[in-house]
Amino acid sequence: MDLTRARTVVAGVVLAVVAPLGWTTPAGAADAAARCAALSGVDIPARVVGLPTTGGEVTEATLVAPSGSGSTAIGEYCRVTAALHPVDPAAPDIRMQVALPTTWNQEALMFGGGGYNGTIPALDGNVPFGPGDAARPLGRGYATFASDSGHQAPAGYLPTASLYGEFLANDEALRNFAGDALKKTRDAAVFVIGRYYDREEPERTYFAGGSTGGREALAVAQRWERDFDGVISVYPAFNAATLDLYFGHMTRQLAAPGAFPRPAQQVLLYDAVIRTCDGLDGLPDGVISDEPACDFDPAVLRCPEGQDGGDTCLSDPQITAIRAVSSAVTFPYPLASGETGYPGFPFLSGADMSTPLLGLGTTPPATPIPKTAGYGMQFWDAWVKYAVTRDPGFDSLSLDPLAPGPWQDRISELTALQDVNSTDLRPFARRGGKLLLLHGTADELVSHRATVEYYEGLVQTMGERRVDAFARFYLVPGANHANLAAAFAAGWDSLTALERWVETGVAPTDPVVRDTNPGATRTRPLCEYPAHPRYSGTGSPDEASSFDCATG
């Protein structure tokens, strides 16, 4: 990073964001309110957006006072709300926001969404798997922006806004969600940024997202390689439609009579896997580091005679279902995206009841799908009703993803639209783009095995030397989806690592990830795939320096 733009850093923690040479303060801080107010009502011409819209406008611009302290400090900024209008008058607007700091570092960062989106991510938020002891992007002086991807979830939608899928019935809204809204939002945001700071565009623009946002991060690298200089993609649902098909397979398996493990049995399964595989890395600590080596058979929990004997064992139908959702599934028909199946989840995933909605849920799938079923089951239900059949009354349990009958062509068409699975990132890499790819091995909603397959596809397509020049892939043992109540809640300052790589050419070297669970103090090496942390046998088990990155 150029020293004229350096942050004030002590012991790796950003203590303050000053305005060194090269940063921008628009016409004096006293003028910020007037400049911000002047944005209200500004038209966003359709010509500045690289995909079809009918233009848009800024609907609100408000100067927000400084807030927070230390790593949560956010300086004064202008919060802009805007709407981009569709070509199809029946489609919803894309609603977006841009945060324009009074003291700007001349760079921008776009946040990705989650689930079916439908709300605008917080502009003052952190990157996925971000640390708690370093300033967030807006606090560092970034202009941040995000959108709802082109539809609005109803207020108070249950069980969560990110499961609202009715918008999928409109073709333009579906295309926006599949990726078009990313380009439209980026171009409109750059226009607003240029208008406020009186310059053509930011020096550099980054993207950070997890889950659907991780898919979006890979989408911008694959499709619009000139728009972003670096991306952070975390637990990416990159093969979105194929994942939907897996969710359908999982739903049908768990809907079989007696197949659904009750919450107490899910905990039983989780605890048994931990007992069996926790020590494979040399340290029993509640984290399975060498997941591929975890050879666990749920039959060890079988009830006598295979009959349901209560919450201290598993019946034969439950064991059959658990094995099915933990195994790879191959679709016996071609998909237009080129995907052929889904790799399934480790036994550990989905059984940790600290986040039941994201895993198997607390009640079995049925018709209609209950709101207490797992997230993936509800995701499948909405996709079938609004994207595939476009019949809100359709029984999603009646559609077999392995034999979809009359819906096969429509499903294949959706994979071509929604799966962001190109492994040729040479255009992005040639422009100097950099990719940081991360996934927790205890993810209960998007399998890390799929991300492994994507990364291995990158290497196969581009060659290991080319991939190593622009990408890093890290698996984080114990981290789950959205980093909620995880065995190891990952915290790594990936944004600083990405900045350094893009701006100075220095790739991440021996990074360390911190457990951000309340009261946790332990750290681990962040190992490049295919390595995993292994305890050396000496030194504090809470210190990364006591671990090696091992393979095999």
Cα 313 to its chain centre, rounded Å, is 34
Q: What is the DSSP string of 212-223?
A: HHHHHHHHHHHH
In angstroms, the CA 388 to CA 245 distance is: 11
In angstroms, the CA 545 to CA 543 distance is: 5
Amino acid at site 438:
L
Cis peptide, bond prior to residue 128, ω within 30 of zero = no
Select which of 211, 396, 422, 546 is catalytic: 211
Q: Pairing mode, if any, of strands 230-234 and 204-210?
A: parallel
3-state SS record for 115-159: CCCCCCCCCCCCCCCCCCCCCCCHHHCCEEEEECCCCCCCCCCCC
- Pair 119, 161: CB distance under 8 Å: yes
Residue 539: count of CB within 10 angstroms of its CB? 12
Burial class (CB in 10 A: 0-12, 13-18, 19+), 41: exposed
Cα 149 to its chain centre, rounded Å, is 14
Three-class secondary structure of residue 512 per DSSP: strand
Select which of 281, 443, 493, 515 is catalytic: 443
Select which of 422, 481, 532, 546 is catalytic: 481
Which residues are 108's β-sheet partners? 143, 205
211 catalytic? Reply is yes
40 catalytic? Reply is no
Catalytic residues: 211, 443, 481
